[in-house]
Amino acid sequence: MISQGNRYDWDTSRHPETETLQVGFFPNGVNGEQLDYENPTVSYDNGPMTCDFSLTCDGTRKINCTLFVTVNGYIQPFRVENGGEEQTSYTIPVKEEDFQKISLTIDRPVYLSSEHPSYVAIHLLANYDELLENESDEGSYSLSVYEFFRISPVSSDLATKEFPPSASAEEVGAVQNGLPDEAVGYNGISYGVVRDEDQTGMPSFKRWMKNDSSENYRLALQQEAGRYRTILLRDGQLVEAFGGKSYLDWESSGLGNYWEVPISPDVLGKGSHIYYAVTYCLDIMNGDTVQCPFLVTEPYTIVV
């Protein structure tokens, strides 16, 4: 459950700084079978998979949200119950005091493994283009809700043989920086679009940034020791942010270091857009432990 304040003036009679929104997104079942919350693992028999969810909203305003799905960190096409075409993201209008039942169907799960369970992550992100209308870091708002279930290892004939190409940190000219001792663990684990550092030597995240071709925009990535996969979304859509590739596989030596991954200004696009980075832990996804393998950044807006 996420509860945040917001400053957007939906109604002049309201006070945006005191408005709240609580959004719950809960899995009900897959192909009519209830998920076990302690071990949300299902089998796959080479047929479509229909996932049923409940979306609840309790607050003083409305919002649009973007729904997207990944399997083992790769974007997964899906269909919503009222639409016939596959898509990679879907916008859901969420009203005040709202309750919705949502079904999405994955006709052919992709990127499945025969060696370990496959993580199916369902993400729900707020659309911020209408919310962040002022160039300010004050009263920041963030909302990201996600659920996941796992698909048991499949037979070799159903396992994926080819995967989308991933770039490495070294391939894209990323630089690994050490942090001052006093900055290690500062503000916890941090990552997102940056262009400078704060006084501690940590990346400085601005809620609003001008898209200037002379600026050196980077994606800062810092995690505990392990292997990770990162994607960058623009307004909920996957972009080829890493040397013409959409996926970045990288390794962390620990929280004492962070990667600075360059991002071309051309990738940022023209106009005002919201950017999210989603990072998946490959060590979790390639293991047998049932735990959440991913983290989502707060939104960062690039303004031309």
For residue 248, what pLDDT is reported? 95
Q: Do domains 2-151 and 166-303 have the same CATH topology?
A: yes
For residue 270, what pLDDT is reported? 76
164 near 110, Cβ under 8 Å?
no
For residue 168, what pLDDT is reported? 95
Report the topology of domain 2-151.
Immunoglobulin-like (2.60.40)
Structure tokens at 176: 């690994």
Percent of the chain at pLDDT exceeding 90: 26
Q: What type of residue sits at position 258? A: Y
Report the topology of domain 166-303.
Immunoglobulin-like (2.60.40)
Enter the pTM of the model: 0.84
199 near 252, Cβ under 8 Å?
no
Residue 123 sits at φ, ψ, to 5 deg, of -105, 140
What are the residue boundaries of the structural domains of the chain, listed by start?
2-151, 166-303
Q: Which residues contact 155 (CB under 8 A, 6 or more apart)?
A: 114
> Is residue 8 scored above 60 in pLDDT?
no
**Digit-coded pLDDT (tens) for 117-161:** 999 998 888 765 555 555 555 544 567 778 889 999 999 999 988
